[in-house]
Amino acid sequence: MCMKKKILIGLVVVILLGVGIGLYFFKKENVSRIFIDINPSLELSVNKKGEVKEVRALNEDGILLLEGLNLVGMDIEEATLVITEEAVKMNYIDEFSIDNVISIKTTEKDLEEKIKNKINTSLEAKEILFEFKGFTDEMRAEADKYDVSYGNYLIMEKAIALNPELRIEDLATMKMKEIQEEIQKSLDKQNKTRIEERKQQRLEEKEARKEQLEKRLYDRYLEDNQNEETKKSRAEIGKELLDNYKKRNAGKYYPIES
């Protein structure tokens, strides 16, 4: 075999090895997309190991929720727990409400179930009522009409919510990266200082609502127990009333006027 032929064969082998290794690592780093909507709307990219590779806010409340959080590199179950805890802290998930709705959509069914189980375990432990909401028939029909995946349709809806000048017909012809860029352009217009102020405002509103509810419950408790003595402090009774309120499903025994 001549030297030129040996060199040519060697180059072909190197190229094939390079392509094979490239395909291996591409497959290894292939990601799944996850959409979590609690009013804050988020998109997460997760690799095959279950590690979060990227997180995007899809609306202003998503920015509020992610402020100060670093989810990249976390296991998806850990990240899901952090998101859930932050949503409760900021009152996107209301611990005293029965109307909490969470939407989860992923490109892999097993991953979707894993995320739902994590959220379910977390909120059950806090005795917070909620329900998972999926795609409606109308949403499925619209996604099918424009020949896009249900996940892509969600992203398109978020882009239009941020910028009503966008048209779904146009978005349906765009690549996902282009739609994400449209979302980012809209979000970049948000003033960071105002975002931080709104986050603090949400936390203060939650505490104010909790204090108001506790006061109404306590006043009702005093009316119902005028002749009973107790060694418990005002704070202890208030905490018990709030805990019982959650358990009884939004005031089954103590209906509270709004």
pLDDT at residue 37 in the model: 92
pLDDT at residue 251 in the model: 43
**Which candidate, 68, 149, 71, places its Cα nearest to that of 105?**
149
pTM of the model: 0.71
Measured in degrees and rounded to the nearest 5, phi and psi for residue 158 equal -65, -40
15 has a pLDDT exceeding 50 = no
- Strand spans (E) along 107-207: 130-132
Q: What would the pLDDT profile of 214-249 be if each residue is shown by its tens digit?
A: 999 898 888 888 777 778 888 899 888 888 887 765
| Mean pLDDT to the nearest integer, 153-170 | 88
Q: Say what angle helices 150-162 and 176-188 make with each other, to 10 degrees.
A: 30
| Mean pLDDT to the nearest integer, 162-181 | 89
Q: Which two tokens stand for residue 39?
A: 């009013």
DSSP 59: S
